[in-house]
């Protein structure tokens, strides 16, 4: 197994995603989409695809800097992207909201950076949904398949959206597509970071390069055994097993809340409803 298995028919993938976005927005009766634009790869690719699909006038990007993780380059990249693809961009400093939220929490612990970081992601979600409600738009998520499969996102934070156009593309595939549609190379080349605390780097936290992670996940997706994946990729079996464990352990983040089954049909998996009622 080599990286060739992740190569895309880029024109076809681009067109399928654009049709998907346009069709879903129209079926929902929405007037466009709202999405967070961080200046990173995933949100940039998603904003570009949405703009190519709907037209930039129907895409509102919200950049949400805050003082702890502020990086002027991120804002410059967001502006560059908005200008190139013609979508509207608003810059909203969420520092004061975060401060008020933290100060109101009786058990707030500034040293607990994970809990604190998850609050940041959820506050960003609140802003996006406010704009979406106010403007009759959908919230467009920017999660990719790699981070979704290993649960590298905040539940009800950056994982919350009405539509997620690139969620079936691994990170390395998003890079391919981003370059194909014209996302500036300096954005594509940036080290991925959720920007939840200073100096946060995704690959450092995950302990693995995306080029390797994506191939492991591809193997798991195609029902390969960890031993088989490790042998084909010449990797330690422990690394492959660790990725699989993380994938399985985070399944709760990818599902609706569970409930005890009591009725004839339970909300969720038992219902297969048409988009438009009878």
Domain assignment present for residue 67? The answer is yes
Domain assignment present for residue 58? The answer is yes
Report how far residue 59's alpha carbon sits from residue 47's, in angstroms, rounded to the nearest whole number: 7
> 158 with 232, same domain?
no
Q: Show the tokens assigned to 275.
A: 């988009």
Domain assignment present for residue 278? The answer is no
Domain assignment present for residue 237? The answer is yes
Q: How many structural domains are present in the chain?
A: 2
Domain assignment present for residue 275? The answer is no
Report how far residue 140's alpha carbon sits from residue 62's, in angstroms, rounded to the nearest whole number: 11
> 152 with 243, same domain?
no
Q: Which domain holds residue 231?
A: 208-256
> 25 with 160, same domain?
yes
> 153 with 231, same domain?
no
Domain assignment present for residue 64? The answer is yes
Residue 51's pLDDT is what? 99
> 128 with 99, same domain?
yes
Number of neighbouring beta carbons within 10 Å of residue 7: 11
CATH number at residue 39: 3.40.50.620
> 177 with 62, same domain?
yes
Q: Residue 55 phi/psi, 5° resolution?
A: 95, 140
> 88 with 220, same domain?
no
First-last CA distance in the chain: 47
Domain assignment present for residue 41? The answer is yes
Rounded to 10°, the helix 210-221/171-181 angle is 110
> 188 with 215, same domain?
no
Residue 239's pLDDT is what? 98
> 82 with 65, same domain?
yes
> 146 with 222, same domain?
no
- Per DSSP bridges, beta strands 88-91 and 33-36 are unpaired
Residue 267's pLDDT is what? 82
Residue 259's pLDDT is what? 87
Walk along the chain (278 residues) in steps of 10 and give the mean pLDDT of each run.
Answer: 95 98 96 98 99 99 97 97 98 98 96 96 98 98 98 96 98 98 98 93 96 98 98 98 98 90 84 61
Residue 276's pLDDT is what? 62
């Amino acid at each position: 197994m080599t990286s060739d298995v992740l190569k895309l028919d880029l024109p076809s993938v681009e067109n399928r995603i654009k049709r998907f976005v346009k069709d879903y927005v129209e079926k929902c009766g929405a007037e466009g989409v709202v999405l967070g634009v961080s200046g990173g790869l995933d949100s940039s690719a998603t904003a570009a695809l949405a703009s190519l699909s709907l037209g930039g006038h129907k895409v509102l990007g919200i950049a949400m800097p805050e003082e702890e993780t502020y990086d002027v380059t991120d804002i410059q990249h967001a502006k560059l992207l908005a200008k190139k693809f013609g979508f509207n961009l608003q810059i909203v400093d969420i520092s004061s909201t975060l401060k008020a939220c933290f100060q109101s929490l009786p058990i707030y612990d500034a040293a607990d950076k994970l809990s604190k970081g998850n609050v940041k992601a959820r506050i960003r979600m609140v802003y996006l949904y406010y704009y979406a409600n106010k403007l009759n738009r959908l919230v467009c998520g920017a999660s990719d398949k790699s981070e979704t499969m290993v649960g590298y996102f905040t539940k009800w934070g950056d994982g919350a959206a009405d539509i997620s156009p690139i969620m079936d593309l691994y990170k390395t595939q998003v890079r391919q597509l981003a370059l194909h549609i014209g996302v500036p190379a300096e954005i594509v080349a940036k080290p991925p970071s959720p920007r939840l605390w200073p100096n946060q780097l995704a690959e450092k936290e995950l302990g693995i390069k995306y080029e390797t992670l994506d191939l492991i996940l591809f193997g798991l997706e195609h029902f390969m055994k960890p031993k088989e994946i490790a042998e084909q990729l010449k990797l330690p079996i422990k690394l492959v097993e660790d990725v699989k464990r993380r994938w399985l352990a985070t399944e709760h983040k990818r599902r609706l809340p569970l409930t005890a089954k009591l009725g004839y049909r339970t909300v969720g998996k038992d219902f297969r409803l048409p988009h438009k009622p009878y």
